[in-house]
A = this chain, B = another copy of it.
Amino acid sequence: MNQQTSDADRAFLATTIQLAKENVAAGGGPFGALLVDARGEVVAVGQNRVTRDNDPTAHAEVVAIRAAAQSRQNFNLSGLTLYSSCEPCPMCLASSLWARVDRIVFAADRHDAAEGGFDDLEFYELFARDRSTWGTPIDWEPMDDRGAPFDAWRAEESRIDY
């Protein structure tokens, strides 16, 4: 047992696992997530909707993050903990960073996901390798005016930082 986790954490993870199982029965991917506030109240629920919504970004964690941000009417989700039935993939992990969640807790890991047929482990391994070795070409063309949007941004007094 992880020394950092509590009975409450395990109860929330059990719920994410239940959400994941129910999602498979409903025709979706085997992933569930919750966002919970400091009082232990569930702010948002997510289940994988990639195939049902034709949205490759609709992982359970991203679905929960979008729902919580809508519910709060705030793109900043500080104060919340993200629980996931499985280790967040790089997309979901970075989404959590942008959302400024306080903490992330997960049950299965990238290796469990790989056994299930998912690419999370492969993508983590790609992130650790030089991009020149990736199958997907990634080309950087440093256009002369590439800084113009940032210049406009810094000059915009009414900008909302995020």
Please give the residue numbers on chain A whose beta carbons come within 8 Å of chain B beta carbons, in ascending order: 1-2, 4-5, 9-10, 13-14, 17, 20-21, 23-25, 27, 29-32, 50-51, 54-57, 59, 62, 65-66, 69-70, 72-77, 85-87, 89-91, 93-109, 112-113, 115-117, 119, 123, 126-128, 136-143, 145-150, 152-154, 156, 158-162
Contacts and interface: CB of A to CB of B under 8 A. Distances in A.
B116 A51 contact: no
B141 A13 contact: yes
A137 B94 contact: no
A136 B102 contact: yes
A145 B17 contact: yes
B2 A141 contact: yes
Q: How many copies does the complex hold?
A: 2
17 contacts: A1-B141, A2-B141, A24-B153, A29-B153, A55-B70, A56-B77, A57-B62, A85-B146, A85-B149, A90-B93, A93-B127, A94-B123, A103-B137, A107-B140, A107-B142, A108-B142, A108-B147
B75 A150 contact: no
A82 B17 CA distance: 34
B150 A113 contact: yes
